[in-house]
Structure 1
Amino acid sequence: MTTKQKVLQLLKQTETVLSGEKLAQQLEVSRTAVWKAIRELEKEGYRFEHAASGYRYLPSDILDPLEIKGGTLSFLEVEILENSQSTMQDAKAAAAQGKTAPLLIVADAQSGAHGRFGRPFFAPKGGGIYMSLLLQPNQSFAELPQYTLLAAVAVSQAIDALSGKTSTIKWVNDIYLDGKKVCGILSEATSDFESGTISQVIIGMGINFSIPDADFPLELQEKAGSIFPASAPVLRNQLIHTIWENFFRLLSQPASDYLSTYREKSFVLGKTVHFTQQGKTYSGRASAITDRGELVVETAEKTFTLSSGEISLQAIE
């Protein structure tokens, strides 16, 4: 561990001001080395109070494994990346390397972000949260929870708790706030043919945390927004922690709990939706969401049960 990392660790561990002399003594370095470490940390985005008697750590919007884990997610391994092509791919690579799950990979920026059907996702550095969770359930497909629905509820509840607003869910994997999409979720599973079980599940998320409306590409400004388009009253670490705290709490509860909340937060149910199947476009009323996460749509021709992996809603009225 470098002097810079040691200084940061010590200051994070105490709520009081620590003098440069005390830091130097504890680390067995010079006061000049401490001063240089503080300067380097501030260049990276960390914030400190400079008092006459020393330094005090201030909450900083720097992705941090310890702050993400907090006191309730100690079992979760967390890796932070400055840049990633895709945290989903990073999680797949981690699984291939035999890394322990549950493992959360979080990137400060993501250059190849995408959602369902390969759609691109706007992912600027520092303004969003780009992360993937690796799980190794080793269960049959029938035994698995509906991870996408569960994750959507966990995100929506976290946004509500920290923003004071009420978010909604568009079937099956998008979170909306103030009428605009602020989060997309993608889940992928890998099966073990020999055992007949799902060996790994990866849940990826792209969240627009604090991005000014004007920073979105013109073609997205009417559709996409962020949780805090102006200044954020909370840090990304807090939101990430709350999301996964919710996720693992919901995971330990009966599926009926998160399914009930998912349905309550859906802004699709009861609406007229348009979709295309086998080259034909249909319109009908979205009447239910099954326990498997399928959308039931009643049309003039017949009642459809739509799978999220096959159908994308084209319009909702």
Structure 2
Amino acid sequence: MSTKNKVLDILIQSSPSFVSGEEIAQQLSLSRTAIWKAMNELKKEGHQINSTTHKGYQYIPNHTLSQAGIRRCLVQNLLPSDLTIYTVETTDSTNKELKKRAIDGDLTPTLLAASTQTETKGRFGRPYFSAADGQGIYFSFSMHPRRELEEIAQYTIISAVATSRAIERLTNKKIQIKWVNDLYMDGKKVCGILSEALTDIETHTISSIIIGIGINLSIPQESFPLELQEKATSLFPNGKALVTRNELIAEITNEFFYILNTIETNPYMEEYQKRSFVLGKAVSFTRGNTHYQGVAQSINEKGELVVLLLSGEEMTLSSGEISLEKIGY
């Protein structure tokens, strides 16, 4: 770990109290000059640090991503003991990066967060609007569970419920879910979730699963492209977020692993269905070359949507093959 990041760890662990430069220097066995240089580097990166002659340095929580900032808000006994956290300024895709690592043999549970993404995408490779630095949250985590292939939908559902719970807990915003992986607030999309798996052909199991979460945090409503302004929004559409990115990433991670740890008794599937604004609504979709209309009836344990067609026949839709074209008609 670099000197700069070691200093940041001490600042965050001490926050909201002040810590003197001399104390930091003694802890790290470094000169006061080295500490001063590290402070300047951190400030240039966007970290907010108060400094006074008599008290020393004080870290102010802010939207600058950092490993220490995320770890500060994690509940360690909920998490894999070997969970690794990385933060980067820019990447093409956090999912893509973690898939590369898994393919290269890195099987450590990993959380990767980025300030910006250049190749954001959703299901079926659709583009996903990525906000300017600081206005969005983009992160993924990878696990290597050796589970059955059909269980990937379960991870998407858990992610959706965990993210909804975390957002509501920290912001008091009401979140609903559009089957299978989109979160909505006030009738507009605020978050997208993309689950991807690497499979073992010989055992027909999931060798690695990567879950990517993109949240519109504080994008001013007028900053969305015109074609999205009626369809998408952010948690704080006035542009002034009341929760930091580190805090929200950590709370989602805490909730995700809490559900996994209590999966036999946690009512996450019941909650997923209660949050759904699709169930009971008229829906339309296309399978193959045929267009269908019906009413969404339920979501089964595999995360499939059960639709009662106008013909009276029931059809089960998999999230991997179908995207709803319209809800209500």
**Shorter-chain TM-score above 0.5:** yes
TM-score, length-normalised on structure 2?
0.89
Contact 2:188–2:232, Cα closer than 8 Å, also in 1: yes
Gaps of 5+ in 1: none
Contact 2:139–2:214, Cα closer than 8 Å, also in 1: yes
5 Å matches for 1:19-168? Answer: 19-27=20-28, 29-53=30-54, 54-69=56-71, 70-72=74-76, 73=79, 75=81, 76-124=83-131, 125-141=133-149, 146-168=154-176
> What do residues 228-247 of structure 1 show as CA deviations (whole Å, max 9, x unaligned)?
22311111111111111111
> Could you say if the C-alpha distance between residues 131 and 268 of structure 1 is closer, same or farther in structure 2, counting changes exceeding 3 Å?
same
For the pair 1:179 / 2:187, whether they are aligned, the reply is: yes
> Could you say if the C-alpha distance between residues 22 and 241 of structure 1 is closer, same or farther in structure 2, counting changes exceeding 3 Å?
closer
Contact 2:164–2:176, Cα closer than 8 Å, also in 1: yes
Q: Look up the equivalent residue of 2:240 and give its one-letter code.
A: S
> Could you say if the C-alpha distance between residues 28 and 304 of structure 1 is closer, same or farther in structure 2, counting changes exceeding 3 Å?
closer
**Offset of 1:31 from its aligned partner?**
4.1
Contact 1:171–1:266, Cα closer than 8 Å, also in 2: yes
Of 58-67 and 116-125, more deviation after overlay is shown by: 58-67
TM-score, length-normalised on structure 1?
0.92
Secondary structure of 1:254's partner? coil
Secondary structure of 2:291's partner? strand
Equivalent residue number for residue 225 of structure 1: 233
Equivalent residue number for residue 277 of structure 1: 287
Contact 1:145–1:255, Cα closer than 8 Å, also in 2: no
Contact 2:143–2:210, Cα closer than 8 Å, also in 1: yes
> Could you say if the C-alpha distance between residues 199 and 88 of structure 1 is closer, same or farther in structure 2, counting changes exceeding 3 Å?
same
**Offset of 1:38 from its aligned partner?**
2.1
Q: In 2, distance between residues paired with 1:282 and 1:144? A: 26
Q: In 2, distance between residues paired with 1:278 and 1:120? A: 23
Q: In 2, distance between residues paired with 1:74 and 1:196? A: 25
**Offset of 1:223 from its aligned partner?**
0.7
Q: Look up the equivalent residue of 2:13 and give its one-letter code.
A: Q
**Offset of 1:256 from its aligned partner?**
6.8
> What do residues 33-70 of structure 1 show as CA deviations (whole Å, max 9, x unaligned)?
43333222112111112224122111122212233232
Contact 1:110–1:130, Cα closer than 8 Å, also in 2: yes
Q: In 2, distance between residues paired with 1:37 and 1:77? A: 23
Q: In 1, distance between residues paired with 2:24 and 2:149? A: 53
Contact 2:177–2:183, Cα closer than 8 Å, also in 1: yes
Q: In 2, distance between residues paired with 1:136 and 1:80? A: 20
Contact 1:273–1:283, Cα closer than 8 Å, also in 2: yes
Secondary structure of 1:13's partner? helix
Equivalent residue number for residue 246 of structure 2: 237
5 Å matches for 1:302-313? Answer: 302-313=313-324
Q: In 1, distance between residues paired with 2:26 and 2:288? A: 72
Secondary structure of 2:46's partner? coil
For the pair 1:294 / 2:304, whether they are aligned, the reply is: yes
Secondary structure of 1:274's partner? strand
Q: In 2, distance between residues paired with 1:17 and 1:191? A: 49
Of 213-222 and 191-200, more deviation after overlay is shown by: 191-200
Gaps of 5+ in 2: none
Q: Look up the equivalent residue of 2:289 and give its one-letter code.
A: G
Contact 1:17–1:51, Cα closer than 8 Å, also in 2: no
Secondary structure of 2:166's partner? helix
Contact 2:152–2:195, Cα closer than 8 Å, also in 1: no
Q: Look up the equivalent residue of 2:43 and give its one-letter code.
A: E
